[in-house]
Amino acid sequence: MKFMNRLERRFGRYAIPNLMGYIVGLEGLVFLLSHAPEGSRLIEQFRFVPALILQGQLWRLVTFVFIPPGTSIWVVFILYFYYVLGTRLEHEWGSFRFNIYYLVGMMATALAAFLAGESANAFFLNLSLFLAFATIEPDFTILLFFILPVKIKYLAWLTWGAIAFAVLVEPLPSKVMAGVSTLNYFLFFGRDVRIRWKSRALSYPRRRAFKAQSLGQKGVSLHKCTVCGMTEKDDAQMDFRYCSQCAGYYEYCMPHLTMHEHVRSEDGPKA
């Protein structure tokens, strides 16, 4: 993203390294304090409540992210998981871009809370971290219930299903929170999602044709060289490969794989 590159060149020096470490550390501290006398009152002072913010309690714009996601000992494992997600994303993007991702998520959560007129927490913000991580490392495996190995991309599909369910079925405040609070995800990955779906739509006819061919249509070959027209029926020992430098799906026999003019547009190879 060119705009993000310009922002990073100008403001990158202000980025906070290991941001997720500080956030998780403060959540852990608040978790411990919540079990002390008057601990529940501390939590209430941290909550994002639009009406109270409009009355001047501006600290709530930030402190809501420090409220731990529970009160049991399981919070320790959840916070560790958040820490892993955040640090891996920061390693992938760099500190500045991760800071922007988290900041936009906070702003989107605040916007959703004001639009819905409801209090808010960091649930959807942390959910957006999970979705970002699953997009970057879809084959990362976690032990569900510490026993069952599951690739994180499958859990991400379930998460998107839950978000869609909230948007379609839940009351209006939940619809707003679920929809708006994932704006940071689409800001970073929207272009990739569009390209991926467009690619799938364009490749669907090719997959259908390949499937029909693989089922044994008479007189149809599975492979054909773009240059010489050779098929596997002409030479059963010949290998065929797609060229990674051609703009499209053009297949070549081995002699012509390295001896052809690369196609630079979808207009097709030159005669």
Q: Residue written as tokens 């978000």?
A: 163
Q: ∠ CA 143-72-176 to the nearest 5 degrees?
A: 80
Residue 120 pLDDT more than 60?
yes
* All structural domains of the chain with their residue ranges: 2-192, 213-271
Contacts of 7 (CB under 8 A, 6+ apart): 96, 100
DSSP state of 14: G
**pLDDT at residue number 271:** 42
Residue 202 pLDDT more than 70?
no
pTM of the shown model: 0.68
Give the whole-angstrom CA distance, residue 63 versus residue 49. 11
Transcribe 72-127 into DSSP letters. STTHHHHHHHHHHHHHHHHHHH-HHHHHHHHHHHHHHHHHHHHHHTS-B-SHHHHH
On average, the pLDDT of the chain sits at 80
Give the whole-angstrom CA distance, residue 185 versus residue 134. 11
pLDDT band of residue 194 (cuts 50, 70, 90) is low
The predicted-structure confidence for 37-92, as pLDDT tens digits, reads as follows: 777 788 888 888 888 999 999 999 998 999 888 777 888 888 998 899 899 999 88
- Helix (H, G, I), strand (E, B), or coil: what is residue 47? coil
**pLDDT at residue number 262:** 80
For the segment 209-225, the average pLDDT, to the nearest whole number, is 62
Give the whole-angstrom CA distance, residue 28 versus residue 36. 13
If one compares 135 and 212, the residue with the highest pLDDT of the two is: 135
For the segment 178-199, the average pLDDT, to the nearest whole number, is 72
Strands of the chain, DSSP E: 141-144, 148-151, 240-242, 251-253
For the domain 2-192, what is the CATH superfamily, name and number?
Answer: Rhomboid-like (1.20.1540.10)
